[in-house]
Amino acid sequence: MSLFGLGSRNQKTFRPKKSAPSGSKGAQLKKHIDATLGSGNLREAVRLPPGEDLNEWLAINAVDFFNQVNILYGTLTEFCTPSTCPTMTAGAKYEYRWADGVSIKKPIEVSAPKYVEYLMEWIETQLDNESIFPQKLGAPFPPNFQDVVKTIFKRLFRVYAHIYHSHFQMIMSLKEEAHLNTCFKHFVLFTWEFRLIDQGELAPLYELVESILKL
């Protein structure tokens, strides 16, 4: 039995869970995240631990949030299909097109599941690239590292926006709304703490974001 009581029906759609960067520092920071999350204080959990490197903290959390969104969306794959979601939208006003700047340079309209597939593959490529996410302890981060991280989080937000706008009823019927809301709250507090997503990008879920941040 897998997470959320799902059986084998979705196993092919799940990507293997990514591991945190290796080395004692990665393991140490991962333990810190697990311990602070266990305390239930999400605002505390997102803060940079005293004396730690900001890029190391962003890297380890990027892996964690990738895994969270990956698993959450994996529970919806039989409901989010090219016929139910022919475009990647977040309500009537927002539509997202895909481009990665490499193989697809001009943004293209794709179905929501295709967009998420492209996105997860793209993020996985970034996470596996040691020149961007160094695996070895003490290896330097590239100068554009925080820009890459911002793009990862901006695009992960779009998956949350699609889930809330298009699949929240299904999330409720699966009794996953508490888990979804907690994951999203953690995501919002983290991205706000480090100013990773421009406010304009948050528009599709702005009321929800406001209620989390109590702006």
pLDDT tens by residue, 89-131:
999 999 999 999 899 999 999 999 999 999 999 999 999 999 9
Query: How many Cβ atoms are within 10 Å of 5's Cβ, its own excluded?
Result: 10
What's the pLDDT at 21? 55
> Is 25 within a domain?
no
Q: Write down the pTM of the prediction.
A: 0.85
Residue 61, domain CATH: 1.20.140.30
> Is 65 within a domain?
yes
Q: Reduced to 3 DSSP states, what percent helix, strand and coil does the chain have, rounded to the nearest 5?
A: 60, 5, 40
**Percentage of residues in the chain having pLDDT higher than 70:** 81
> Is 61 within a domain?
yes
Domains held by the chain: number: 1
- Alpha-carbon distance 35 to 140, whole Å? 27
Terminal CA-CA length for the chain: 40
- Alpha-carbon distance 72 to 75, whole Å? 6
Q: Amino acid letter at 97? A: R
116: containing domain: 42-214
Q: Which residue has the higher pLDDT, 24 or 2?
A: 24
Report, as an integer, the average pLDDT of 67-90: 96
pLDDT tens column, 32-54: 566 655 556 888 889 999 999 99
> Is 209 within a domain?
yes
> Is 153 within a domain?
yes
> Is 1 within a domain?
no
As to burial, measured by CB atoms within 10 angstroms (0-12 exposed, 13-18 middle, 19+ buried), residue 12 is exposed
Q: Which residue has the higher pLDDT, 215 or 86?
A: 86
Q: Which residue has the higher pLDDT, 214 or 109?
A: 109
- Alpha-carbon distance 127 to 66, whole Å? 10
Across-strand partners of 108? 98
